[in-house]
Amino acid sequence: MFDFHLEAVDGAARAGRWTLPHGTVETPCFMPVGTQGSVRALSPNDLEAVGAAIVLANTYHLFLRPGEQTVAALGGLHRFMGWPHPLLTDSGGFQVFSLESLRRVSEEGVEFRSHVDGSPRFLTPERAVEVQWALGADVAMAFDHVVPGGASREAAADALERTVRWLVRCRERFEALGRGAISHQPSASGGRPSDGRRPTADGCRRQTLVPIIQGGTYQDLRRASAEAILGAGDWDAVAIGGLSVGEPKPAMLEVLDGLDPILPRARPRYLMGVGFPDDVIRAVARGVDLVDCVAPTRMGRNGTAFTDDGPVNIRNAGHRDDAGPLDPACDCETCRTFSRGYLRHLFVARELLGLRLLSLHNVRYLIRLAARARAAVADGNFDGWSRAWLARYQAKEQA
């Protein structure tokens, strides 16, 4: 369980297969984000139809509403969401550090006010692990201290060191939960244990804890972070956090270039929060295996569709009488069924179906893009394929 099998490598780009308790994930892989336990406007059936292998949910949001006790009482996150395939929960670190004025950070953890009802809340490494254990996703993330893209060297160093200390605390609590030394009652009224906490007949682990590399845009700090994490234990995967948070685009790519040689080849690498098509391809070119982002659903709700020729704004008047599909190369329900003219009408007339159809297409686009990258790696042609793809994607933008 949690084994990663590297099937092919082409330059720094990789094609692999990650075995998780609820299924196998072929990499490179784009993970759609179900912030509050629902990928906006999409159903589990839609996600299966577009080929999603693993879905992400946000611990911060589910902790506040409906609360992990309610999710556990309703059978755990898989059953709650109606998604029997792999799931990953983030730790809440990114969200609480985004609250700026609403939070207070100490070595113990982060005090903050709920954006839902203003109530005071406290997340610690231990609590973040407990909440994720109750949710029961296949993959849980360590609680990290995230700094903005423009953070000073001091702030970045301080945050990365705290993240390492917190990682040790996360692992201690995670192991204690795994041994059954700490029981986490799902709810006062009873309820079924979630998948994550249910002991398996074969004694297999049902959840893994993944550490997050921090260090801002400072190459030496990133290296120090990676070395400290890798020295602290053997992890099933390694995540790269604190990127795509406002830093210049080249700085992110430099960090990825610097990390690639020192990260273990035999473990999947997850770049958090990246999901615009060109960023995904550039990340895969630098050894990244997994990415997640709300971009495809958020852009879809705004009427923007990803295509190989760059983003298309479906609201444009030029699409009014266009009987052609949104993306002739796409095999999703939206592109197989509807004309650009109809999709434009849905957005102009503010019909809910429009939000869903463009979200569906964008998620399918990114999943298919990752699969195309995978095929190119397997064919030993990733460099040529990705250069051609990037040139076409950016051609209109540059014209």
173 near its own copies, judged by CB under 8 A: no
26 or 333, CB closer to its own copies? 333
Is residue 339 a contact point for its own copies (CB under 8 A)?
yes
292 catalytic residue (yes or no)? yes
Instruction: List residues bridging with 26 in a β-sheet.
Output: 17
Q: Does 189 bind its own copies (CB under 8 A)?
A: yes
- Residue in 129, 143, 139, 142 with CA at minimum distance from that of residue 54: 139
Q: How many CB atoms lie within 10 A of CB 179?
A: 8
In the complex, least distance from residue 169 CB atom to its own copies, rounded to whole angstroms: 30
Task: State yes or no: residue 338 binds its own copies (CB under 8 A).
Answer: yes
Burial tier of 101 (Cβ tally within 10 Å: 0-12, 13-18, 19+): exposed
Q: Report how far residue 169's alpha carbon sits from residue 215's, in angstroms, rounded to the nearest whole number.
A: 19
Toward its own copies, which CB reaches closer, 57 or 259?
57
Among the candidate windows 36-44, 169-177, 206-214, 389-397, which touches its own copies by CB under 8 A?
36-44
Per-residue tokens: 250: 């080249």
- Check binding of 70 to its own copies (CB under 8 A): yes
> Is 279 known to be catalytic?
no
Q: Is 74 in the site for its own copies (CB under 8 A)?
A: yes
Which stretches within the chain are classed as H helix?
A: 44-49, 59-64, 68-73, 77-81, 93-98, 125-135, 153-179, 219-231, 249-259, 277-284, 295-301, 333-337, 340-348, 352-378, 382-398
Task: Give whole-number Cα distances, 321 to 127, 303, 339, 358, in Å.
Answer: 55, 17, 9, 18
Angle among Cα 228, 230, 231 to the nearest 5 degrees reads 60
Does position 185 interact with its own copies (CB under 8 A)? The reply is no
Which is closer to its own copies, CB of 70 or CB of 313? 70
35-43, 137-145, 219-227, 272-280 -> range binding its own copies (CB under 8 A): 35-43
Binding of its own copies by 187 (CB under 8 A): yes
Say which DSSP state 276 is in: S
Choice between 205 and 345, CB closer to its own copies: 345
Of 37 and 242, CB closest to its own copies: 37
The residue annotated as part of the active site, out of 10, 46, 90, 279, is: 90
- Residue choice 2, 18, 63, 80 for contact with its own copies (CB under 8 A): 80
- Residue 123 backbone dihedrals phi, psi, to 5 degrees: -115, 130
* Nearest-approach distance from CB 275 to its own copies, in angstroms: 19
Nearer to its own copies, 162 or 356 (CB): 356
Is residue 398 classed exposed, middle or buried when 0-12, 13-18 and 19+ CB atoms within 10 A define those classes?
A: exposed
Q: Which residues bind its own copies (CB under 8 A)?
A: 36-38, 40-45, 61, 65-66, 70, 73-75, 79-82, 187, 189, 191-192, 320-321, 323, 333, 337-339, 341-342, 344-346, 348-349, 351-353, 355-357
